[in-house]
Amino acid sequence: MEITNVNEYQAIAKQKLPKMVYDYYASGAEDQWTLHENQYAFSKILFRPRILIDVSKIDMATTVLGFKISMPIMIAPTAMQKMAHPEGEYATARAASAAGTIMTLSSWATSSVEEVASTGPGIRFFQLYVYKDRNVVAQLVRRAERAGFKAIALTVDTPRLGRREADIKNRFTLPPFLTLKNFEGLNLGKMDKSDDSGLASYVAGQIDRTLSWKDVKWLQTITSLPILVKGVLTAEDARLSIQAGAAGIIVSNHGARQLDYVPATIMALEEVVKAAQGRVPVFLDGGVRRGTDVFKALALGASGIFIGRPVVFSLAAEGEAGVRKVLQMLREEFELTMALSGCRSLKEITRDHIVTEWDVPRIRPAPRL
User: Hey, which residues are catalytic here?
Assistant: 254
Is 183 within 8 Å of 190 (Cβ atoms)? Answer: no
The annotated binding site is made up of: 24, 77-79, 106, 127, 129, 155, 164, 230, 252, 254, 257, 285-289, 308-309
The annotated binding site for glyoxylate is made up of: 24, 129, 164, 254, 257
HSE-CB of 37 using CA atoms within 13 angstroms: 18
Helix axes 235-243, 213-222, angle to 10 degrees: 30
Nearest to 85 by CA among 160, 22, 2: 22
* CB count in 10 Å sphere of residue 158: 18
User: Distances in Å between the alpha carbon of 365 and those of 44, 355, 356, 361?
Assistant: 21, 22, 21, 12
Dihedral sign computed on CA atoms, order 112, 116, 117, 122: negative
Nearest to 143 by CA among 105, 101, 199, 96: 105
The annotated binding site for FMN is made up of: 77-79, 106, 127, 155, 230, 252, 285-289, 308-309
Helix axes 309-341, 19-26, angle to 10 degrees: 40
Nearest to 240 by CA among 270, 267, 210, 215: 215
